[in-house]
Every structure is written in structure tokens, then in C-alpha cells.
Amino acid sequence: MGVRVGIVGLPNVGKSTTFNALTKAQNAESANYPFCTIEPNKAVVPVPDPRLAELAKIVNPKKIQYSTIDFVDIAGLVKGASKGEGLGNKFLSNIREVEVILHMVRCFDDENITHVEDSINPLRDIEIIESELIFADIEQLEKKIEKLDRQAKSDKNARKSLEIAQELLAHLNEIKPVSSFEKKDNSDFIELDKELRFLSNKEIIYGANVDEDNLDKDNEYVKQVKEYAKKVGAEVVKLCAKVEEELVGLDEDEAKEFLQELGVKESGLNKIIRVAFEKLGLISYFTAGVVEVRAWTIKNGWKAPKAASVIHNDFEKGFIRAEVISYEDFIACNGEIGAKEAGKMRLEGKDYIVQDGDIMHFRFNV
């Protein structure tokens, strides 16, 4: 299943530098002026998972296939974007296609890097971007209400949808995001959100971009972002975009040593991917054979047939059973044969809820 993270923020906050670092590819132009990113850059990024390497030591496959996340570097928004200012609605529509927003916020002073608002103020910057997302949602919802208003004259279901849409519009007009709307479990709201994909209802991770000196401690800017994020139930990942870019090209040991020198244990890439998985309730199960050892991304709580569908739809349609070994048992027993001999392989049916790290083999008949 595809996972898409859109990187947004005001111009010159470190979005494209972060994109370069996260994707380990220098294909997002970084420059010291607004709007250097014109088209949204996209890259497929492997999800770091040390368990795959451990499985490969035992299985010795021809290749290792990681789960992936699509990162989309979306051009810098400015105040008035929802009304076409800067590069406008085109980029708001790009955000609509992602599941998670990585909202980059500048949390460092540097007179050599211009700021579109002429000063460093993370909370103001957050408000600008998030207000534009709300304004864009208002514009979309108003158009939908006009349509529902016509339909409601003869359609009882449309009248119910119209009622919830009007309540939501009143909420948005108070400059409150869709994410804080009280009736999000309402079936009519759920259908509206499926259709309109409200921007202000997406999961948000704040990327607090600091300089090297503040990686191992929180400056006042970062503290402000964390305090705000706590109020709205969001996560904060602190990183130095320039440091992340410097990690590109280093091998695993060199990168680990470099991070230790800076007083941090984990790269921004790992933190962002880990938090994105948690936000979306995602886990991985594995298939392990001589051709490949592979991670498959599913929703936490999926049953075996649904989990099998990410390999092929036929696996779900013709599901018979799943042969399952936990990751811990697979490693402890030195592979599938040892796990079988130790009685650690289980046969699971259609109601089995797949666990993170399960090694699975599906039996099906179509």
C-alpha cells in the first residue's frame, strides 16, 4: 500500500534541503530565494528496518526489498495561497493527494538566509500555512454546499449531508481546522471527507529545522513548536536539514559516528518515517525466500486475507490459510526449518490479525 508524505512550509525554511536528504538524491533544487521549487518533486524512499538485514543473514536472498514511502516536495506556500497568491491553488491540490503532511518550520537564526516574512517566528509561520489550508477547505466546501443545496430539494440523503456540511463550514469559518471538528465520526462527514480530502484534516508532523548547535538541545523556537504541537495532538521531529544532507553518501558506520559527534542517536529520516508509520497506524510483515526478503506495509489490525491482498488481490480472494512465524522465533530458530522443528510455525485462518514482524507464507486457490 502506498504511503505519501507531503513536505510543506513557507519558502526558505529547508523543505527542499530536507527532501534532498530524505531521499538521498540531489534532485530537489535548493536556492536562497522563494519558489525555487516549481513542480512537486517526488521520490520513493525505502523504510529503514534492521530486521530485514537480520532475516537476510539467515535466508541469503538474491535481494532485499524494503517497504517504501513516497515523499513529495511541494513548493513553498505564502500568505494568500488559497486565493492564488505566490504559486497558489496548484500546490494546495498537490497536498490533497498525500496522507501525511510534514510541515517544515524554521527554528534557527541566520541573516544570510532570507525569510519571506522578514523575521523568524515559528508560530506565525505555522499559522500562515495552516490558515491557508483552512481557507482552501472553506472554498471547496462552499462549492459542495451549493451542489447539495440544489439536491436537497428532492433528496433526503442530500439534506442530511447538507446539514453536516453547513455545521462544518461554520466551524471552519472560525479558522478552526477540520481535524478539530466534533462530529468526525458522523457517516455523512466521513463521506464528505472521502470526496473532498480536506487539507486541514490530514495528519501533521512538524519538522523543526535547527542549526547544528541546537541538535542536542531545544532552543526557544523549538520549545514553542513543541508546546503548540502538544495542544493540537501533533508530533515534532527536530532535525538539521543541512546535517541530514551531509549524511547523504556516508555508509552506515560513518553516519552513526557523525550523529554521535553531534549528540543525537537517530537521523531525521528515520524519525520522520517512524512517526509517519505511527501516525497512520502502519506495520510491516515479511516474506522470506531465496529470491527475496521483503517487507509489506499494512494497517495495524488487518486480518490475514486483507494483508495478503497487498501482494496480490488473488491472494485475498482465494485465501485458504497463512503459515506464520514470528520474527523473534524465526531469528531464534535460525530460519523456517528450525522454526518448524521447534513447533514455532503456526497455521492461521481468515480471522488471524497479522502482527508486526510476522514472517508469512500464504496458501490460496483461485
User: E strands, the chain, where?
Assistant: 4-8, 41-46, 63-65, 68-73, 100-106, 203-209, 235-239, 282-288, 292-299, 319-325, 346-348, 359-364
* CA angle, residues 241, 246, 251, in degrees to nearest 5: 130
Mean pLDDT of 241-270: 85
Q: Which three cell numbers stand for residue 237?
A: 521531529
Residue in the structure block whose three cell numbers are 529545522: 209
Domain 301-364: assigned CATH number = 3.10.20.30
What is residue 36's predicted lDDT score, i.e. its pLDDT?
43
pTM of the model: 0.83
Most confident of 33-37, 40-44, 117-121, 276-280: 276-280
Residues 327, 357: contact at Cβ < 8 Å? yes
Mean pLDDT of 149-172: 91
Nearest to 94 by CA among 78, 71, 116: 71
Residues 3, 69: contact at Cβ < 8 Å? yes
| All residues at 6 or more sequence positions from 119 whose CB lies less than 8 Å from its CB, including other chains | none
Residues 45-62: tens digit of each pLDDT = 888 899 999 999 999 999
- Domain spanning 4-278, CATH architecture: 3-Layer(aba) Sandwich (3.40)
What is residue 25's predicted lDDT score, i.e. its pLDDT?
45
Nearest to 134 by CA among 168, 103, 172, 104: 172
Considering only 145-154, 240-249, 348-357, which range has the smallest mean pLDDT?
Answer: 240-249
Nearest to 362 by CA among 298, 271, 270: 298
For CATH 3.40.50.300, the residue range(s) in the chain are 4-278
Residue in the structure block whose three cell numbers are 497568491: 85
CB atoms closer than 10 angstroms to residue 252 = 10
**Is the confidence at residue 118, as pLDDT, over 80?**
no
What percent of the chain shows pLDDT beyond 90? 56
For CATH 3.10.20.30, the residue range(s) in the chain are 301-364
User: Cα(163)–Cα(67) distance, rounded to whole angstroms?
Assistant: 41
**Is the confidence at residue 34, as pLDDT, over 70?**
no
- The larger pLDDT score, comparing residue 220 to residue 25, is at 220
Strand partners, 342: none
What is residue 96's predicted lDDT score, i.e. its pLDDT?
84
pLDDT-derived band at 30, boundaries 50, 70, 90: very low
What is residue 180's predicted lDDT score, i.e. its pLDDT?
93
Nearest to 6 by CA among 135, 93, 112: 93
What is residue 28's predicted lDDT score, i.e. its pLDDT?
40
